[in-house]
Amino acid sequence: MGGIRAVRRNMLLTGIGAAAFLGELVFLKKMDLTLQQEVILFAATYMIIAAGVVEKTVRSFCKKRIFNEYLLILIATACSFLIFQYVEGISVLLLFQIGSLLEEVMLYRSKKSIANMMDIAPEFANRKSHEQEVQVEPSELECGDIILIRPGERIPVDSRVLSGESMVDAKALTGESLPQTVTAGAMLYSGSINLTGALEAEVVKKYEDSTAAKIMAMVRKANDTKTDSERTITKFASIYTPIIMLAAALLAIVPPNTFAEGDWYTWIYRALTFLIVACPWGIVISIPLTFYGGIGAAARQGVMIKSSHQLELLTKADTFVFDKTGTLTEGVFEVKKIHPEGMTEEELLELTAYIEYFSNHPISMSLQKMYKKEVEKQRIEVVQEIPGQGIYALIDGKAAYAGNRELLRELRIAVPKVRAAGTIVYVALDGVYAGYIVIGDTLKKEVRETMDILKRRYHKELVMLTGDNEIVGGAVGKLLNMDHIYTNLLPAEKVEKVEEFIDSQQEDEKLVYVGDGINDAPVLKRADIGIAMGTLGAAAAVEAADIVLMEDDPSMILVILRIARETIGAIRQNAVLSIGMKLILLTLAATGLISMWTAITADVIIMLVTLFNALCLLKYPG
């Protein structure tokens, strides 16, 4: 398309040509010109209007696309001078140029709307150096630099808050409309906007590795990647154009030499009209425009799609494979059950919280969260971690242990065998078994509804792969009504399972893998479509996945499925409408039932309908 400058240049030339053409029509009768002078005058006007079309034709030639819609319209309108129908030929070319410019403007606006949604590039950063503040380019920042972010400024790079409190707007990244409160220790992602208070933060990623840079690279890649539909249309045009040119030539030559002997004028006119009608300009432009609309609609919901090709593949997806921890579950442990032996639940929870107090393991965090009270650290005399088994602590002079069953068995403390969906922490005090606590993960909000809709409404096959044990993984899988549940898997084994499913699929069936993007990169790469969920700022997700859900919300999978279906649906509707109307108009042109004027007017109407259908996707509410 040559960019907005080329569009403006073509608009200027078309405007000059149109003004000259209208002037010639108005004052032609007052000018005493010979036929030869009149032809030269209109030919000059024609060349001004045709400049943009010639440029596109040459550009197509350079790309080895010799046969295209621009060549058709040039041949048809230029040949109108041979039968002295140059007024009609120029009128048709002018209408074609106006329609083509309208398409280009709409396409530019569609691209710009995506760019505006993702307008997250920071312009500058305030770096603190020796108690002084220096404004620098974000690309100049290094990890460990201290930056100051004032209210209203865009966060330049991924960083961690050192001091200050503020509200941060991350809508451009996540689609979440409500600002988030950040305080010391919170992560800030480049592209977000600081709203209320000044923040001092430490840089944790260079600009090129930050969230904003990676997302913009994804958007650029999505815009530059051709889909199967676009490639099909390009290939179709290379075959279609020479066939149409041959058909038009036969229409102009055969009848005057057979049944309509000598009537060259009528049949050349019909052949030229046939060429004009045959131009596939509406469908050629509506396909990329529709995909831009789909990508833009997804971006508005906080979904980054690397390639418009993924929208096509999503409509063919029949198997959805999910990681468990961090994808279906929160990855945040909670106390599910307390089962004391010889003491109360409160006493067992307190004892375990004291034993685990100095550990930073997620299980220890969940115990402190459940206990809620302040730990009297002076009561804890000794703490020793036993790798792979648990923790020993001396509390109030008594030996206390918290860990797995093997730990207590080695201490020759009898413990019951417990089956529970979660991690079991066995506790002993002074050589006596004191009970157990079950720690479990929690399902993400709306994950049940999402799995139910995928299975019942969309009829998808659901699979769960997890490194968790059979009891924990099985419980989650059955709760979500998964078709297949695989537990105790290493990362390499997850890849093997995905490959097994891919090998068993039909050619037109696709597999989607949904993971948290941090430890699932190999599987995300291997799947037909990799979706990383809730991975704001995770480099592994942006690199490995085809689609990144910036908000940690499983229901967004349903949103992108609907967007994909509506995008491909709009393309098919446009194709049926355009091709159907082309066949009707070609028949009417060949039989002489329509003029050039009628042909080009009908084509413009079809084009406007297809463009409107494509642009409607940008307004997708989610």
> Out of 145, 158, 169, 323, which one is annotated catalytic?
323
Residue 483 tokens, joined:
């078709």
Task: Give the SS3 label for residue 441.
Answer: strand
Q: Which residue type occupies 448?
A: R
Does 520 participate in catalysis according to the annotation?
no
* Spatial separation of the C-alpha atoms in residues 52 and 16, rounded to whole Å: 12
Strand order through the sheet with 380-386:
329-340, 432-443, 423-429, 398-403, 390-395, 380-386
User: Cβ(125)–Cβ(154) under 8 Å?
Assistant: no
Q: Say which residue the tokens 């004028």 belong to.
A: 265
Pairing of strands 547-549, 432-443: unpaired
* Spatial separation of the C-alpha atoms in residues 621 and 602, rounded to whole Å: 32
> Would you list the DSSP string of 350-381?
HHHHHHTTT--SHHHHHHHHHH-SPP-GGGEE
Pairing of strands 380-386, 547-549: unpaired
Of residues 294, 175, 292, the one with CA closest to residue 563: 294
Of residues 314, 394, 237, the one with CA closest to residue 569: 314
* Spatial separation of the C-alpha atoms in residues 502 and 319, rounded to whole Å: 9
Torsion, Cα of 208, 210, 216, 219 (10° steps): 110
Alpha-carbon distances of 400 from 350, 393, 395, 407, 431, rounded to whole Å:
12, 5, 7, 12, 8
Q: Which sequence positions are flagged as catalytic?
A: 323
